Amino acid sequence: MSYTAHVDTFARDNLPPRELWPDLINLDQLGYAERLNCAAELLDRAVAEGDGDRVVIRAPGITWTYRDLASHANRIAHVLTRDMGLRTGERVLLHAPNNPMLVASWFGIVKAGGIVVATMPLLRARELAVIIDKARIRHALYDHRLEAEIAEARRRVPGLEQAAAYGNDDFAARLARHPAEFIAVDTAAEDVCLIAFTSGTTGAPKGTMHFHRDVLAICDLFPRHVLRSRRDDVFIGSPPLAFTFGLGGLVLFPMRVRASTVLLEKTPPPELAKAIYEYGATISFTSPTGYRFMLEHSKNFNLSSLRQCVSAGETLPKATSDAWFAQTGIRIIDGIGATEILHIFISAGGADIRPGSTGKPVPGYEARVIDAAGQPLPPGTVGRLAVRGPTGCRYLADDRQKKYVLHGWNITGDTYLMDADGYFWFQARNDDMIISSGYNISGPEVEATLLEHPAVKECAVVAAPDAMRGSIVKAFVVLRDGAPAPEPALTHELQDFVKAQIAPYKYPRAIEFVATLPKTETGKIQRFKLRESQ
């Protein structure tokens, strides 16, 4: 391991012990040097190799080339180091919607040898305070429109000493005082450059620590082997850059092949569909929910520029996959990733896609289905998903590291089945498997079936306590506009529909019609809230 470039060693000091890391395999195949700075590799190298005038970012009213992005990032690096006193290894909070200055700030921090801690723009001060305290953050860059929450967070956590708002005249003047050149810090490949906090669907958020080489690894695996991205691609999508699905899909992946990306601060599905047409986007990243809603508006916009669509964040129902294919002629690339592993590690593209299946391990990763003791199970058996590869879980000072890593494998918290051909089929989150009268019932399987009914817009299925059966299947259903009234007759109709599609014992014995489902800001359904309401 090359010696760290970090003067502030908080991140390295709070990595879990090496013996608690997962096995990191296939790094030799990637061939990374012991010293590298991922920002320099993705941005500076593009300019140095003659691609400085290629467009990298488009946003409403803005077009930046790779050279423009480098200039902004370099000036920000100077602001951080000269004006704000950033030392290498210190963490910097980013708090902003998806826009070009957020990307420039990300690269400026990493070039300066800092560690990015990006947060959702809708997080409130009390949520920011938890992250600031846990990561011991002294510096922040944020969008000036989010001043109130940052000010309150600073009141709650006095340790946040330096905060600068971009998007106003003062910050623009600060940037103008500094040169457009900055030599990236000579960091080690194993220096932490990113702490990504989990989205909080269960329990307290966990900080996941990723190295410079991890950033490059995710760029060189899924995009190369499954997505097959190209220089002429235009990426677009809805996930926030504060989450690794968005960071990879909307920034890192396009930049690795010198392509361009479209950044939108707000992306409700109708607006995303509109932007795909207006910008001629070729690759889309969004959730299954996003694709379902875009289907309703696809006839209003020409989506023919698309050639690849990627779904992650929650399981992609076969009904959604089939409907999208029928409407667009494109099979959605499903994938499972994890904040702990940084990005997608099981997926399939093109002719390898089997609708309803997540796919096979992305080259570079290995996956298996295991029992409670960590032993591999044979094909066709339901168990826990375990994965390992060149990236893996390293929690920031968190005892939950011992639960996530078992015998060198990352245990993702998902229940899966692997078939005889090596395809992985999602069954449930480990805490979403419903046991009723001795039967194991996959909540997502019931959800996927309900979604095939024309009256159902969205749904979530959880276990509800039952004195007779231990638990029963309960469905929370959001109806489409124009659907029949939520009366007992519709309940019976939906129950009979499920019984006719899958094994009768799986049908929802209780159905509650609701106006909305609780979700994280990334669109994941928070089933734990529904369980808690029982």
Query: Would the pTM count as exceeding 0.85?
Result: yes
Question: Do residue 242 and residue 375 come from a single domain?
Answer: yes
Q: Within a domain: residue 460?
A: yes
The secondary structure of residue 326, as a DSSP letter, is H
Q: Within a domain: residue 515?
A: yes
Give the total number of structural domains in the chain.
Answer: 2
The residue type found at 367 is A
pLDDT value of position 317: 87
Q: For residue range 479-510, what is the model confidence (pLDDT) as tens digits? A: 999 999 999 999 999 999 999 888 888 999 99
Question: Do residue 351 and residue 469 come from a single domain?
Answer: no
Q: Within a domain: residue 223?
A: yes
- How high does pLDDT run on average in the chain? 94
DSSP assignment of 60-122 equals: TTEEEEHHHHHHHHHHHHHIIIIIS-PPTT-EEEEE--SSHHHHHHHHHHHHTT-EEEEE-TT
pLDDT value of position 429: 78
pLDDT value of position 1: 52
Q: Within a domain: residue 414?
A: yes
Question: Do residue 423 and residue 458 come from a single domain?
Answer: no
364 backbone φψ class: left, alpha, beta (φ>0; ψ -120 to 50) = left
Question: Do residue 425 and residue 440 come from a single domain?
Answer: no
User: Among all chains, which residue has been given the structure tokens 């900055």?
Assistant: 182
Question: Do residue 489 and residue 500 come from a single domain?
Answer: yes
Residue 341 token pair: 């592993």
Q: Within a domain: residue 274?
A: yes
Question: Do residue 323 and residue 458 come from a single domain?
Answer: no
Which of the listed residues 411, 429, 447 is the one where a domain comes to its end?
A: 429
Question: Do residue 407 and residue 262 come from a single domain?
Answer: yes
Question: Do residue 456 and residue 378 come from a single domain?
Answer: no
pLDDT value of position 202: 46
Question: Do residue 260 and residue 220 come from a single domain?
Answer: yes
Low-confidence ranges of the chain (pLDDT < 50): 200-202
The domain containing residue 344 runs over which residues? 211-393+400-429
Q: What CATH number does the domain containing 410 carry?
A: 3.40.50.12780
pLDDT value of position 105: 98
Q: Within a domain: residue 419?
A: yes
Q: For residue range 50-68, what is the model confidence (pLDDT) as tens digits? A: 999 999 999 999 999 999 9
Which of the listed residues 377, 408, 429 is the one where a domain comes to its end?
A: 429
Q: What CATH number does the domain containing 463 carry?
A: 3.30.300.30
The secondary structure of residue 16, as a DSSP letter, is P
DSSP assignment of 195-254 equals: EEEP--SSSS--EEEEEHHHHHHHHTSHIIIII---TT-EEEE-S-TTSHHHHIIIIIHH
Question: Do residue 300 and residue 314 come from a single domain?
Answer: yes
- The count of other CB atoms within 10 Å of the CB of residue 230 is 15
pLDDT value of position 242: 93
Question: Do residue 478 and residue 333 come from a single domain?
Answer: no
Q: Within a domain: residue 502?
A: yes
Residue 33 token pair: 């040097």
Question: Do residue 318 and residue 448 come from a single domain?
Answer: no
Q: For residue range 222-278, what is the model confidence (pLDDT) as tens digits? A: 999 999 999 999 999 999 999 899 999 999 999 999 999 999 999 988 899 999 999
Q: What are phi and psi of 480, to 5 degrees?
A: -75, 155
Q: Within a domain: residue 15?
A: no
